[in-house]
């Protein structure tokens, strides 16, 4: 049976790109959400959505990471406890989820970017 690799968080990113991602994520207003791809584009990486996801995973608790969702308006990170937490936080900000646990990006999407 396969040994599962531990989910040790890789070192918190201390790089400029991540910092830039964090800076942008911090600007997402309460009650709004942005997508990974949206943030990536805003930073000049139209195809670097995955990298944005990494920045989140690298984890800095000071940022409103819960306001970042995927392009379908859904929450990633499902098998983790973070999923419930993210959903709870968003709902606390007045964001409603559809039947498929999806957010209406037309309504709650952050357009500032």
Partner DNA sequence: CGAATGACCAAGC
Partner DNA sequence: GGCTTGGCCATTC
Binding stretches for DNA (CB under 7 A): 5, 7, 10-11, 13-18, 35-38, 45, 47-54, 56-59, 65-66, 68, 70-72, 76-77, 82, 86, 100
Query: For tokens 């989910």, what's the residue?
Result: 7
- Residue closer to DNA, measured from CB, 17 or 97: 17
Report the nearest approach of DNA to the CB of residue 66 (Å): 7
Report the nearest approach of DNA to the CB of residue 52 (Å): 7
Other beta carbons less than 10 A from residue 8's beta carbon: 6
Cβ-contact 28, 68 below 8 angstroms = yes
- Residue closer to DNA, measured from CB, 96 or 101: 101
Report the nearest approach of DNA to the CB of residue 82 (Å): 6
Cβ-contact 67, 25 below 8 angstroms = yes
- Residue closer to DNA, measured from CB, 77 or 96: 77
**Spatial separation of the C-alpha atoms in residues 107 and 15, rounded to whole Å:** 33
- Residue closer to DNA, measured from CB, 85 or 96: 85
DSSP of 88-105, one letter per residue?
HHHHHTT--B-TTS-B-H
């Amino acid at each position: 049976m396969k040994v599962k690799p531990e989910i040790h968080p890789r070192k918190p990113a201390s790089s400029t790109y991540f910092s830039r991602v964090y800076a942008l994520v911090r600007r997402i207003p309460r009650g709004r959400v942005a997508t990974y791809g949206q943030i990536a584009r805003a930073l000049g990486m139209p195809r670097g959505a995955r990298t944005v996801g990494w920045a989140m995973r690298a984890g800095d608790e000071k940022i409103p990471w819960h306001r970042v969702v995927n392009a379908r308006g859904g929450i990633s990170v499902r098998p983790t406890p973070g999923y419930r937490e993210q959903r709870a936080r968003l709902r606390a900000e007045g964001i409603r989820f559809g039947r498929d646990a999806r957010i209406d990006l037309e309504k709650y999407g952050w357009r500032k970017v």
